[in-house]
Structure 1
């Protein structure tokens, strides 16, 4: 172990111009080896317990979570990261649509959750569309850099736009179209509603398909029903479409047939180039009644000040929230969120503790940010980016932890958004000493780089790394375990079955957290800051 750290530190110093440090390789090894599976499990059991009720923002579960984080980081000797407070207020509003709604199109009523999920982002007790003409707008994308505009020459004011999920690159797998199989931000549901609003549409409907969405209809049912959180804005979000939602692909096919169109043909045309077509005489009517609650949730932030340049920070992030409790659900009502993201929050505590084992503090400050409302559209990290406690020009890098590896040790580590920054090289150096290699995004079509909290830092211009897990099992025994546990966990994303299990093998999570610790430490000691690669869409501002 001593050889591992001395080699890595020497290599890093030579390559990056590392200043001399009084922290020895033995000191670093103490932190590295302090990260243990049983400690991760201990934290997850608490955070994902029924007592915490699924950790919804502005709930009793939030209070319990913040109290737990405060206790743990205080015990580790960390200081409040926001002046004299561990908290950053995030003003939120929750809108809960009355489930007693129907969507009427062409004289037929479609049922809530079974066929569709509709809602409104407007902070209004009642919103709706009435006899709003339907227009199919392909992928609903306006991307000048790709010479693509599905809205070109189209006036959608007062109309409801219907669109496909993901982007054209996924449909064609053409690497020269957008970014091929790897989803861009234009494929995200958040973008599609935003663009429809900018175009002046009355409503916006996304057609759900499991493969391009990267999740089944059950996720739409659970994630877009119940309380939906957003920011409190002066205009009460009246610049958003009145109604936004999802429909099943079976419903969509039925509507296309009624409009005299063929769904598969229209879908194929939409992938060839900017595309839109009127859906005959079809018009939509739906009424959304909202229960409105304004509240304050909190980001948690704690800092271990650096010994030489304490105003420069490496920020580790994870979201502490999940979906809470659905009292209208039959059976298990608690979305415990053990994997997503009690594991990442627990991992953050473990990495923080590792830095306290060094004996001396790193040159730069190590800051840990647990954000709220990730499940509601990355709201906590978006708020932080708009109101940064630590300015972007003092934030050296971000390392994000979301849903750690539960499937045992692997020979590789997957990097979501590989090739965007020098963070990949730093990770590869540390991984090599574990006998591991860096592999690409295992599911680029899901657009993972735009779906977790590092995205907010990337938009600030801060090099941000989102990595973890891998696909190549360490040995045959682990490979067999991975097959068994994958079957157990299948379908538990955003479901009540995402709960802690004693049979988890957290040795792979330990591997990854040790790498995150090592990469953060190396960055903290280097003179040079990591940079974005030239071909990245993100750059320092």
Structure 2
């Protein structure tokens, strides 16, 4: 998920910022026997340094680590210093950083969304409470004026599934209204899409992009808490303030002029005024062969925007392989979070302790373990901290488009986005379990820890498509996305569920996602040791893991390996 409440600071003003504290070098014995080297090296992963780094990255000094702020400068300096101290090589020529040009588009006028029915009666929805709209066009203003409304079901065009909600209707210049998630989740029918597990077609970003491809002038999603997997408060917080995007040469000319969400309550009234029942349309949209339905009336909105350009950075360091240095395995985590909201009274710092100071600090510990090895890995290992995940996986998308090592030479990778903070678990949850051959490497090492692999119990929320590994996966690179296990080693499943629900309800993307002295880091350390041994096995095996048959990414992998 993304949220964007930051104060942008030009980088010309950041050069005077104090760098992060110099790291403390870890002494590593060079006398380890090669056969025992991995087991000794995993013990270089330090709970003390890991905890200290999480606290530092999540401190108020770092201001929520938003792209383009003092928090970015401090975070990038910290990572570069740590990697240098550990003796890692820069991954981008002589540089540890990769520039990621971004554009910030901020709505400045709290725009109204005005619906007019065929009788001329108008309903105006309030910004923030009843609707949140914006524009991704990188220009000063965008508008729709008396744009015709069309309900296009789930807004999906999936030829390989024989599904096209846009069939036999021209939406050019019109505003499409869509449901969140996909028909498989709605029906729980495994024969539709992936059943309960959300597909990429269920994601809001897919829906907006497809609407633009179809020529729509406006694109509106009806919010529904359960299929969206978050409440309206997340919508109203996440899509207000500056919204980052890649720099678009055409300034977003082909994007819809207005995109946004409306509450389900307001959608009910909208459909009633068009002589339709929303519940009935929900049911109709779940059926293959659904035909889009014109909604009587039009919609208008005018959006004023402020455009800023920010040069953010990914941070990347390498350990060169001893036998095949041109081939690389990637450990990745996003270093950014939401930043500071200057309009909030009281605590406006979104510290992002769990999300994702934990994963960022985890990268440093993995690097520490690799540098403790008595023998270099046979193939190269990259430690990649990406920017702007909270803005829509932009740093990882930029890396995927401009990789420092060709994707055809990328063996695979492992993404960390929120590490365990409540203690050891009996299992390892794998988001997207069953998708790639990398899982056999993970399973072997998990078994040595007395643990099993378990699937995501909330596959309907589409977590596989909501973190940075996805940008590499969709281009064919096999990626692991392990997460905290589902059963605490002593307190069981209920305890883990309680912790997860408490975080999502009270802290997720909120100022209270702060480091807590009561956190138990033993589980994170055990997970990091697992990730270290798994990745080491992959780089030393000489194999090229693939996606399993039937996954949507296998064709891209096969093509890249063939070429």
TM range (shorter): over 0.9
Match of 2:321 among 306, 318, 323: 306
Matches within 5 A, 1:377-416: 377-416=392-431
Residue deviations 1:494-528 (CA, integer Å, cap 9, x gap) = 11111111111222212211111011110111121
Counterparts of 1:135 and 1:489 in 2: how far apart (Å)? Answer: 34
Match of 1:436 among 429, 437, 451: 451
1:79 lines up with 2:96 in the alignment? no
1:535 lines up with 2:550 in the alignment? yes
Residue 18 (structure 1) aligns with: none
Per-residue deviation, 1:36: 3.3
SS of the residue 1:29 aligns to: helix
Check 1:475–1:99 CA distance in 2 against 1; reply closer, same or farther (3 A cut). farther
Counterparts of 1:266 and 1:430 in 2: how far apart (Å)? Answer: 49
Answer yes or no: is the 8 Å Cα contact 1:421–1:530 preserved in 2. yes
Match of 1:189 among 204, 207, 212: 204
Residue 68 (structure 1) aligns with: 78
- What TM-score does the superposition give when structure 1 sets the normalisation length? 0.93
Counterparts of 1:288 and 1:42 in 2: how far apart (Å)? Answer: 44
Answer yes or no: is the 8 Å Cα contact 2:175–2:219 preserved in 1. yes
Answer yes or no: is the 8 Å Cα contact 1:431–1:437 preserved in 2. yes
1:361 lines up with 2:362 in the alignment? no
SS of the residue 1:288 aligns to: strand
Counterparts of 1:91 and 1:34 in 2: how far apart (Å)? Answer: 36
Counterparts of 2:225 and 2:51 in 1: how far apart (Å)? Answer: 32
Matches within 5 A, 1:410-425: 410-425=425-440
Answer yes or no: is the 8 Å Cα contact 1:405–1:469 preserved in 2. yes
Answer yes or no: is the 8 Å Cα contact 1:88–1:298 preserved in 2. yes
SS of the residue 1:176 aligns to: coil
Counterparts of 2:496 and 2:435 in 1: how far apart (Å)? Answer: 33
Per-residue deviation, 1:481: 7.7
SS of the residue 1:272 aligns to: coil
What number of residue pairs does the alignment pair up? 520
Check 1:532–1:288 CA distance in 2 against 1; reply closer, same or farther (3 A cut). same
Counterparts of 2:220 and 2:494 in 1: how far apart (Å)? Answer: 41
Match of 1:92 among 88, 97, 102: 102
Counterparts of 2:405 and 2:295 in 1: how far apart (Å)? Answer: 53
Per-residue deviation, 1:477: 8.1
Residue 156 (structure 1) aligns with: 171
Counterparts of 1:483 and 1:384 in 2: how far apart (Å)? Answer: 36
Counterparts of 2:515 and 2:504 in 1: how far apart (Å)? Answer: 11
Per-residue deviation, 1:450: 1.2
Residue 11 (structure 1) aligns with: none
- What TM-score does the superposition give when structure 2 sets the normalisation length? 0.89
Give unpaired runs (5+ residues) of structure 2.
1-31, 117-121
Answer yes or no: is the 8 Å Cα contact 2:426–2:487 preserved in 1. yes
Counterparts of 2:492 and 2:426 in 1: how far apart (Å)? Answer: 14
Counterparts of 2:468 and 2:495 in 1: how far apart (Å)? Answer: 32
Residue deviations 1:304-340 (CA, integer Å, cap 9, x gap) = 1112221111110111111111112233211111111
Q: What is the RMSD of the two structures over their aligned residues, measured on CA atoms?
A: 1.7
Matches within 5 A, 1:27-426: 27-106=37-116, 107-426=122-441
Per-residue deviation, 1:135: 1.0
Residue deviations 1:380-410 (CA, integer Å, cap 9, x gap) = 1111111111001221111111111222211
Counterparts of 1:191 and 1:488 in 2: how far apart (Å)? Answer: 27
Residue 29 (structure 2) aligns with: none
Counterparts of 2:502 and 2:392 in 1: how far apart (Å)? Answer: 28
Check 1:274–1:404 CA distance in 2 against 1; reply closer, same or farther (3 A cut). farther
Counterparts of 1:500 and 1:255 in 2: how far apart (Å)? Answer: 44
Answer yes or no: is the 8 Å Cα contact 1:138–1:274 preserved in 2. no
Answer yes or no: is the 8 Å Cα contact 1:318–1:348 preserved in 2. yes
Structure 1's consecutive aligned runs of 4 or more residues displaced over 4 angstroms after TM superposition are 477-482
Per-residue deviation, 1:201: 0.4
- Comparing 210-219 with 151-160, which one deviates more in the overlay? 210-219
Counterparts of 2:471 and 2:488 in 1: how far apart (Å)? Answer: 32
Per-residue deviation, 1:482: 6.5
Counterparts of 1:330 and 1:278 in 2: how far apart (Å)? Answer: 45
Answer yes or no: is the 8 Å Cα contact 1:307–1:363 preserved in 2. yes
Give unpaired runs (5+ residues) of structure 1.
1-21
SS of the residue 1:455 aligns to: helix
